[in-house]
Amino acid sequence: MCSFAFTMSSHSVAAINPSVPTAVKLLRWKFRLLSALSTELAFGAAWRLFTTPRKLPEKNWEAAAVAEARQFRVSTPRGAVAVYEWNAKGSRTVLLVHGWEHRASFWGVMARGLVAAGFRVVALDGPAHGASAGSRTTLPAFARAVQAVADEVGEVYAVVAHSLGAAATAGIPVEFNRATTGRLPRLVLLAAPGSTTAVAQRFAQLLHLPQAVVQRMRRYIQEQHGRDAESFSLIKTGRTLPTDQAMLFHDFADESIPFAEAEEIAANWPGLNFRPTTGLGHNGVMRDAGVIKQIVEFLR
C-alpha cells in the first residue's frame, strides 16, 4: 500500500517550487476528470500510479558497487528477486533493504563500510525494482520479498533499511530467524516514514484527489489485507518488534519524510536509539561516512 515514488519526489518539488511542475498539473487535471466520471475509475488510475515505481537510469557508480558481489535469485510467489552478497565468509550477516525506486546497488558505500568491518552483507532488489521481477508493488509485497530473502540467507544478525524498506521491514513486519530465536539482534532504520496513511495523504494532496477516492483506497487496503492502513505504521509496530536493539537516523532536512514523523516514531518506541542528522537529506544518510561509522559501532 505504499508507493513512495510520486508521493515523495514530486511532492517535494511542488513544496519547494511554488510553480507546480507541468507533469503534476496534467495529473491533477486527469484525476479531476476521472473523478467527475467515476470514483472507481479515479481510484484505479490512482492505485496504479501509487504502486508503480519508475525505472531510474543507472548511475555511473552503480556497476562498481555490485561488481564484487555474488549475484543470485530467490523465488517468491510474485516472481524472482535479485540478491547480492558481499564477503560471504563474514562473521555475521547484515541485510540491506532499499527504498522506493532504489535498488541494491544504491547501497554501495554502506556495503563497503560493513564489509571492511568484517560483516557478510546481503542486499536485494525489491519487487518491481532493479533486476527483480514485476512492474508494480505494494508495501506488503515488498515485505514478502524481504521475508523470502531473509529465510533464504540463514541467520540474520542485523538489518539496515531505508525509507520504504524500513516501512516494509518494521511495519508489516518481516520475521527474522524464524528457524532459531525468532529475534533480530540489531535493527537500523534510515529516513523511515512514521505513518503509512500520512504517506498516502501526501500523495492525495499532491494530486488533489477527492476524499471519495482516498476513502476508496483505504477500503481497498482493508479488503486486501484485513488490516487498516495505519496498522502498518512504525508508530504502531516499533515497540512490539522482537528486536534486541534498534536505531533510527533521520535528517532534519529530509525532503521526502517530515522530521516530525521520526520524532513520533521515537516517542512511541521505548528504547529506540534515535540519532538526528543535519544536512544529509533523505538519501545522503545512506552513504554518509559518519552515519556508517555509527552503524558499525552499533553492530559490534
Checking if the pLDDT of 5 tops 70, the result is no
pLDDT at 116 over 50: yes
Residue (of 30, 172, 22, 149) closest to 85 by Cα position: 149
Query: Please, which residues have CB within 8 angstroms of residue 131's CB and are 6 or more apart in sequence?
Result: 82, 103, 125
Tens-place pLDDT, residues 167-212: 999 999 999 999 999 999 999 999 999 998 899 999 999 999 999 9
The reported pLDDT for the residue numbered 12 is: 43
- Mean pLDDT in residue range 266-292: 97
Q: What average pLDDT does this structure show over 52-75?
A: 94
Q: Please state, in angstroms and rounded to a whole number, the distance separating the CA atoms of residues 8 and 3.
A: 9
Of 112-116, 160-164, 228-232, 264-268, give the lowest mean pLDDT range: 228-232
In this predicted structure, what is the pLDDT of residue 9?
Answer: 41
Distance between CA 147 and CA 14 in Å, rounded?
A: 35
DSSP 80: -
- Tens digits of per-residue pLDDT, 217-274? 999 999 988 888 889 999 999 999 999 999 999 999 999 999 999 999 999 999 999 9
User: Which pLDDT band holds residue 16 (cuts at 50, 70, 90)?
Assistant: very low
pLDDT score recorded for residue 229? 86
| Percent of the residues in the chain that have a pLDDT greater than 70, as a whole number | 94
The mean per-residue pLDDT over the stretch 68-85 comes to: 95
Q: What is the CA radius of gyration of the chain?
A: 19
Query: Is the per-residue pLDDT at 13 higher than 50?
Result: no
In the Cβ-directed half-sphere of 133, how many Cα atoms lie within 13 Å? Answer: 11
Span 141-155, average pLDDT? 97
Euclidean distance between CA atoms 11 and 15, whole angstroms: 6
- The alpha carbon of residue 8 and the mean position of all alpha carbons in its chain are separated, in whole angstroms, by 12
For residue 7, give the amino acid letter: T
Alpha-carbon distance of 202 to 186, in angstroms, equals 31
pLDDT at 18: 56
Contact by Cβ (8 Å): 285, 190: yes
Give the mean pLDDT of 97-122: 97
* CA–CA dist 99, 168 (Å, integer): 9
Q: What average pLDDT score do residues 52-70 get?
A: 93
Q: What is the mean pLDDT of the chain?
A: 92
Q: Where are the domains of the chain?
A: 69-195+233-299
Q: Which fold has domain 69-195+233-299?
A: Rossmann fold (3.40.50)
